[in-house]
Chain A
Amino acid sequence: MTTNIVEIDNLSFGYKGRLLHKGINMVFPRGKVVAIMGGSGSGKTTLLRLIGGQIKPSKGEVRVDGEVVHKQDRDGIYKLRRKMGMLFQHGALFTDLSVFDNVAFPMRELTDLPESMIRDLVLMKLNAVGLRGAYNFMPTELSGGMARRVALARAVALDPNIIMYDEPFAGLDPISMGVICDLIRSLNDALGATSIIVSHDVKETFLIADYVYFVANGEVAAEGTPHDLMQSTLPFVHQFVHGEKDGPVPFHYPAANYQSELLNQSSAK
């Protein structure tokens, strides 16, 4: 058994002629909560999709439990995905299924467990996220935070080794954010899993992560423990962590000279 459950080695990925990642190296040790942070459009979610084998890298490789993801056939990829659980940004609950059936979905599809056992397991998972009482609700009856918690229960339904979170805190109120934050850490420790969090919420992520990678301009711009990164003097990390308006990431998108553009109206069009 390797120490790192996921390894990203010299990974490059691009599409439509644009290189999104340029030789990225990352490791995700077993049992840890590792965060990938960076600005919008820096390719954080794409990294999760590469780990999950939904897209193939242009160069380099992603290894999950020692297996190179993009070299697997369909069955191989599905076998690897059974070790993974993923929480999507907006939950991605199946809108035609109730909360109970959403959590039961992976159990019914991927196992031969009897319905009585599925019932018990679903109620246990829902209890873990505090929503056992909402088992018969439909997804449309849930608030954003509740939907995220149900999706989390579904993601851990089969006790995965790797749990991936795509922007788990986005659009949540402070209470829901605190609940999700606490659940990510406690579920990770209870299941003995490895969590990979993609986020740009510094405060919450730093609270639960053991290690953080900062991605900018297609590369790993910085890495370290949350404590190290809080003290970092690297301009990009400093700007990001302290939420400064201007810095290495400029406020203004590159454009022609302001004065000449205003004076020459026709060229602006």
Chain B
Amino acid sequence: MARPAVHPSSADTTERNPGGVRWRTVDIVVTAVLGVAFGVVFWAWNLVGEAASTPLDFFPPIKGLLNGVYLMPGVVAGLLVRKPGAAVFASTLAAAVSLLLGSPYGGIIVVYGLVQGLGGELGFLLTRYRSFGWGTAILAAVTAGLSTATLDITLYYAEVAFGLNVAYAVFTVLSSVLLAGVVGLLLVRALARTGALSSFAAGRQRV
């Protein structure tokens, strides 16, 4: 077979390295698209959450179960784009978009988005952005869940008894593992099967 005489375009050497740090435009835009899409989901979930949390008032820590949705963009973006910072970028943007659409939490939600993204990022950092299978997905979901539970307890439930707060953290992490970790990875794999991720390593190989 003939050797290619023309070296095709956009042949950034860093692209060949899955952990490459350089962000291509498509990485940025698709991460941002995830952020925006989940921002719309947040907006809807905020409304559902208000309604759903009222019957849960008998045992408030169980409300931690509602938190998993907020941890999805960070973990999903990390698994999909596989670049350092993807989780933080998507998560923060999702929060900012839900603010644009009208958020019950106001500007503070952006801080939440940032912290939750950093939490997810920690999971990917611990696996050094090298593997993006079940282990990493669950780990990132756990670290993301812990981050938001810690923030919630510090900011809002400082007066609440310690045991209840531990229960709250456990429920949050459970929900994060289920939604951000398990559903998140399944989502990325389902997206890959549609061919929509052909520009990404996540869309080219089966993990």
Q: Do A and B come from one complex?
A: no
